[in-house]
Structure 1
Amino acid sequence: DLTHDAAPLGTTTGEPPSSATSCSPPSPLSCPSDNDGRPVTGAFKTPEVIHITGSKGVQIGPVYNISSPIVQTTPSQQQSSREDQQPDPRPPREHVLQMLQITREISESDKALIGEHLGDQWRQLGREMDYSSGQLDNIDNDHRRLQDKIYELLTMWHDKESSAATVAQLTRLLMRIRAFEVFKRFHRTLNL
């Protein structure tokens, strides 16, 4: 409690109360001192209490901001830095349009290829195919290898959709879950 060393209520003269005639041991809150460290009589410091409520990001203490120096670039440097960036992961629009024209049902080799490369996005694909979490959990529990889980998901979808489970429809699903690398591999295998 910071208020126990303050002057009692009603004391206005700055004189110490009768029970506080000496300061032993001296403390910065209870007994103010002069420059030589000797207690000053007749003056009491009132401790300062600050209440902070409803705040976010309050910093108590020093703040050290360290930032890298600002480097000015020329337009030619900006151009080359854009070229150094990663290429766009999306497949070319022409490839997507070609795949959307293929109306044949998916084959066993299509399922195997997707199963080999889809990875952890298989649950996302399953949700896009309108399978519940319970159905996806059953596939997960029934099959140990990830490749087998994906193959089973595609087989269930093919059985459910029958002739509607086409390359074009699978392309739409792969694009919705942003499985661009899988799509690119799928496109290459079809030799379009």
Structure 2
Amino acid sequence: MLNIVLFGPPGAGKGTQSQKLIAQYNLVHLSTGDLLRAQIAQGTELGLTAKKLMDEGLLVPDEVVIGMIDNALQANKETAGGFIFDGFPRTVPQAERLDQLLAQHDSGINCMIALEVGEEELVTRLLERGKTSGRPDDQDVSKIRRRVTVYNTETAQVAGYYAAQNKFHALNGIGPIDTIFGQICALIDQHKPATTDNPAEATREVKA
């Protein structure tokens, strides 16, 4: 089982690279935001708990998010070559809890890869994306800079956690998409289990 944490500030190209990695390694994309929305839409117990908290303006506890990830792991473990984690973990306690959960599935995080792009380049990219995305936070420079600051603060903590396990790698996120993808794959291939297959199947959607 191949499990990857892919980090990158907004505008770093993480979404593009995620889709290529999903196809290359037969991974399931686990986005905590998508999981929350799916559980809420399905009216599950975890979803109802999350919605109640969100409606009250409160953060969803780590245990609720971990429960959703656990459900997704169990739903896809028979067919997936592994998982790519997006938006989680963002804190050291979350990383520790994720390690505990994966250990229960006789697995673990193989590597964390962070795409690095300078703030001015990110601002330029997101303002350009904002012309078509329709997202207000892609059209306001102050909001963009705030998002980058939050990302950098979060990543610094989690990067240190994985660096202590020799699993953290930073890559330059500026350059041709395929070149960056090749560099990511080279790192993953150094960490992936010997039994991991690479069927290069089509993008797999997570079963929430």
TM tier relative to shorter chain: under 0.3
Higher helix share goes to which structure?
Answer: 2
Normalising by the residue count of structure 1, what TM-score does the alignment of the two structures yield? Answer: 0.27
Greater strand content: 2
Higher RCO (Cα < 8 Å, 6 or more apart):
2
